[in-house]
Homo-oligomer: A and B are copies of this chain.
């Protein structure tokens, strides 16, 4: 191997694993509780801060109490004035930013993994605002290699750091680890196990990376979010008038072609995808996005080459 093409990167010393950012996404909630129970047993190869992001929402088993915590981490939101009358999640986002960030600073944790569940049939996705975070991309490759029964994908929301709104953007590297399908408010053993395996493999990779292992480059498919599609709605009442079509339901990351069925109205009419470009649907029929006017998102897939990496401090 030509080691001149190896990118040397700082070690990933400080890792945060967060769950309960949405309080009714229970695999992450129980995984964090489980980790907190045994955090002192010293068996983990990497030092990890484990944290319940939104304990009040977890207590009530709701997504959020007053506003969606995972939309509170833009630069603007973090620097807006708050008072004791501000929404709980606005206040909590400052606490988390102080604890794990500040976002964009040298003090921020090296990697922030935020655990999420979706009702959509996504498998395991690493979701982040960056398409050139070699650490995140190498971790994705590692999970793709090692996880036999769960499809693993890299999803990219193309936003500058300042506008990235999610908790994971507080870390120097970071991503949401989104696993589905799981209904909100319950835990399915298979989904919990997939998330547990994903976290363990991530920590294994970090340990190997910090220990000086060289990871060879290669290609990774990146799904970049292009647009959201809302449900058909009644123009007067704004109520939805159709559900996701049975032919599309559960087919996240399967290419959707122009003219293919998208919705089936409650009165039995099929509505088709009217775009001009075949795209990859994801977050199909996510319960939490009804209020956001999103029936599904559409992504473009492209293959990117990532360099070989090793840590610049060989210990």
User: What is the interface of chain A, defined by CB distance below 8 A to chain B?
Assistant: 30-31, 33-34, 61, 119, 183-190, 192-193, 239-240, 243-246, 249, 264, 266-267, 285-288, 290-291
In the complex, what residues of B have CB within 8 A of residue A290's CB?
61, 185-186
| 11 A–B contacts from the bound complex (CB under 8 Å) | A30-B240, A33-B239, A119-B185, A183-B287, A184-B184, A184-B287, A186-B287, A187-B243, A188-B249, A189-B249, A190-B246
Closest Cβ–Cβ distance, residue A45 to chain B (whole Å) = 19
Question: Which single residue of chain B is at the shortest CB-CB distance from A30?
Answer: B266
Partner of A183 from the list B183, B187, B243 (CB cut-off 8 Å) is B183
Contact B287 A189 (CB under 8 A): no
> A142 to B123, alpha carbons, bound, how many Å?
39
Closest Cβ–Cβ distance, residue A35 to chain B (whole Å) = 10
> A86 to B24, alpha carbons, bound, how many Å?
28
> A244 to B183, alpha carbons, bound, how many Å?
14
Contact A188 B285 (CB under 8 A): yes
In addition to A30-B240, A185-B287, A189-B244, 8 A-B residue pairs with Cβ atoms within 8 Å of each other are: A31-B266, A33-B266, A183-B287, A184-B287, A186-B285, A188-B249, A189-B245, A192-B243
Contact B185 A184 (CB under 8 A): yes
Closest Cβ–Cβ distance, residue A283 to chain B (whole Å) = 12
Contact A267 B34 (CB under 8 A): yes
Contact A243 B185 (CB under 8 A): no
Partner of A190 from the list B186, B187, B249, B286 (CB cut-off 8 Å) is B249
Question: Which single residue of chain B is at the shortest CB-CB distance from A247?
Answer: B189
Closest Cβ–Cβ distance, residue A109 to chain B (whole Å) = 25
Closest Cβ–Cβ distance, residue A252 to chain B (whole Å) = 14
Question: Which single residue of chain B is at the shortest CB-CB distance from A31?
Answer: B266
In the complex, what residues of B have CB within 8 A of residue A245's CB?
189
> A18 to B34, alpha carbons, bound, how many Å?
41
> A243 to B27, alpha carbons, bound, how many Å?
10
Closest Cβ–Cβ distance, residue A57 to chain B (whole Å) = 14
In the complex, what residues of B have CB within 8 A of residue A31's CB?
266
In the complex, what residues of B have CB within 8 A of residue A192's CB?
243, 266
In the complex, what residues of B have CB within 8 A of residue A119's CB?
183, 185-186
Closest Cβ–Cβ distance, residue A124 to chain B (whole Å) = 17
In the complex, what residues of B have CB within 8 A of residue A30's CB?
240, 243, 266
In the complex, what residues of B have CB within 8 A of residue A185's CB?
119, 184, 287-288, 290
User: Which 6 pairs, one residue from A and one from B, show the smallest C-beta to C-beta distance?
Assistant: A183-B183, A185-B287, A189-B243, A186-B287, A34-B266, A187-B243
Question: Which single residue of chain B is at the shortest CB-CB distance from A263?
Answer: B189
